[in-house]
Amino acid sequence: MKEGLYLKIPASTANLGVGFDSIGMALNKFLYLTVTISEENKWLFHHIGPNVDGLPADESHYIFQIAQKVARKHNIVLPNLKIEMRSEIPLARGLGSSASALVGALYIANYFGDIELSKYELLQLATEFEGHPDNVAPTIYGGLVLGYYNSETKVTDISYIDTPKVDIIITVPPYKLKTSDSRQALPDTFSHTQAVQNSAISNTMISALIQHNYKLAGKMMEQDGFHEPYRQHLIPEFKKIKHIAKDYAAYATVISGAGPSVLTMIAPERSGELVRKLKTEFEQCRSELVTINESGVSAKVLYESL
């Protein structure tokens, strides 16, 4: 008999500089959820480890809220569930922790509500909740995903490109930065000239990535005009990390998502030296090598032992 569901949900890095709200890449750091039927008459959350410390244990939990919204949308009633949550993804650091929780909630509602949503439909729902696909699309599918959410038709279209053959270093500062605060720093409007310029930078970046021309892709990533110029003051370490990374011939250093984590793309031959240098220079941050996740969320049904 089916007893529960085990979910392993990857982190993600959004934007890659010029791909604001539309480009993202899944990373091999995970949110782990073990979901079973609750023996009590309510949902229960049990958090293990530092990255999920302090999250609510009751029905005010984000996962509960989202799962119930999905259930209502499909006119079903979910059973009371017990959710054990562990995470390698630090909260509010620009590494897609809330997208991972959102995707987890959708998978939970889909499975325990027996709804049979396809991956395509899960993506549509996830984007509708999140407002843009840059974190949720790679979290669901893995790899490097580009997407557009049309808020009028509520349709999300996505496209993939080959995973870049580069090494990735993330530097995670000790402080949190809420996405809402980081979005507050952005301008409300852009002139036509600015829009054309940034679209050209973005197009060239994508074409260069497709051709595995990382030097050119990196040059374009670092010319983003959509968000970095307005956000970098929120991350005091950013400029220095970028400067040091250049000494190691890194392709690009950009803000990961809404920040404050910083992502560096670099050739595999130089990544070890650079990550060790960053660890020494920024002792208060956590600099580490992270690999790109190619498979997205994985779900395993748990069976009662006989």
| Binding residues for ligand HSE restricted to 243-262, rule: CB under 6 A | 257-258
Contact yes or no for 31/97 (Cβ under 8 A): yes
- 224 scored as a contact of ligand HSE (CB under 6 A): no
- 14 scored as a contact of ligand HSE (CB under 6 A): yes
- 156 scored as a contact of ligand HSE (CB under 6 A): no
- Known binder of ligand: residue 96? yes
- 227 scored as a contact of ligand HSE (CB under 6 A): yes
State how far the Cα of 306 lies from the Cα of 296, in Å rounded to an integer.
31
Residue 133 or 296: the one with the smaller Cβ distance to ligand HSE is 133
Estimate the crossing angle of helix 119-130 against helix 97-112, to 10 degrees: 130
Contact yes or no for 225/197 (Cβ under 8 A): yes
Per-residue interface string for the shown chain with ligand HSE, residues 118-137, x marking contact by CB under 6 A: --------------x-xx--
Q: Which amino acid is located at 289 in the chain?
A: L
CB of 34 to ligand HSE, least distance (A): 26
Judge if the upstream peptide bond of residue 173 is cis by omega within 30 degrees of 0. no
Residue 4 or 96: the one with the smaller Cβ distance to ligand HSE is 96
- 100 scored as a contact of ligand HSE (CB under 6 A): no
Out of 12, 13, 15, 97, the residue judged to bind ligand HSE by CB under 6 A: 15
Q: Which stretch binds ligand HSE (CB under 6 A): 15-23, 43-51, 76-84, 291-299?
A: 15-23
- 183 scored as a contact of ligand HSE (CB under 6 A): yes
181 torsion bin: left (phi>0), alpha (psi -120 to 50), beta (else): alpha
Residue 93: which of 288, 260, 222 has the closest Cα?
260
- To the nearest 10°, report the CA torsion of 98, 104, 105, 110: 150
Q: Which stretch binds ligand HSE (CB under 6 A): 64-72, 110-118, 156-164, 177-185?
A: 177-185
Size of the site for ligand HSE (CB under 6 A): 13
Kindly give the residue spans of alpha helices, DSSP state H, lying in the chain: 62-73, 97-112, 119-130, 136-141, 179-184, 192-210, 214-221, 228-231, 238-247, 268-281
- 30 scored as a contact of ligand HSE (CB under 6 A): no
Counting Cα atoms < 13 Å in the Cβ hemisphere of 213 gives 10
Binding site membership for ATP: which residues? 90-100
Footprint of ligand HSE (CB under 6 A): 14-15, 20-21, 132, 134-135, 179, 182-183, 227, 257-258
Binding site membership: which residues? 90-100
